[in-house]
A = this chain, B = another copy of it.
Amino acid sequence: MVNQQFTFAVHILTALAFADETMDSQELAESVNTNPVVIRRLLLGLRHAHLVETYTGKHGGTKLSRKPAQISLLEVYDAVQPRPVIAINERKASKHCRVSCNMREIMSGVAAGAEGAVREHLRGITLQKLLRKVRRAA
């Protein structure tokens, strides 16, 4: 993965879980060390996945829409829609080459399996677990 959207999203949600109250995009941006607009763009996806609720206007901000124990990292992963774990070669195959003609389908299977393995791993991790790690730490 090249982009940090998933990491940022997990960070945001963990911060919200730890705070247990609404935070505005400026506060979240400071915790992640980025720009508030970057945060708001991410919140768009998280809101759409019903992981957070945000309020506009003065004293606006964002809070979790569920308990941390009810949010798995798989949901976060799906919410940010990251690029595939394994990229496949989308360009045209060389027609007279049997390997070339079949590689796309073959690699699709490999990539799907890898994607599934990652998803199963993330399914088992809840925000609650991460929150406990923060609390246990120094």
Chain A positions within 8 Å of B, measured between CB atoms, are 1-4, 6-8, 10-11, 14-15, 18, 30-34, 73, 83-89, 91-94, 97-103, 105-107, 110, 113-114, 116-118, 120-122, 125, 130, 133-134, 137-138
CB-CB nearest 8 A-B residue pairs: A117-B117, A2-B2, A117-B121, A15-B99, A31-B100, A33-B91, A102-B137, A1-B87
Among A11, A92, A93, the most chain B Cβ lie within 10 Å of the Cβ of: A11
- Our pick among B4, B11, B98, B137 for the contact of A98 (Cβ within 8 Å) is B137
Other A-B pairs, 10, CB within 8 Å; known A30-B94, A102-B134: A10-B103, A10-B107, A14-B106, A30-B100, A31-B99, A33-B89, A86-B118, A105-B137, A110-B125, A113-B125
Is B8 in contact with A89, judged by CB distance below 8 angstroms? yes
Q: Is the interface of A mostly helix, strand, loop or mixed?
A: helix
Find chain B residues with CB under 8 A from A15 CB. Answer: 97, 99-100
| A21 to B: closest C-beta gap in Å | 13
Roughly how many angstroms separate A138 CA and B138 CA in the complex, as a whole number?
61
Roughly how many angstroms separate A133 CA and B108 CA in the complex, as a whole number?
13
Is A114 in contact with B121, judged by CB distance below 8 angstroms? yes
Roughly how many angstroms separate A126 CA and B130 CA in the complex, as a whole number?
36
Roughly how many angstroms separate A11 CA and B51 CA in the complex, as a whole number?
40
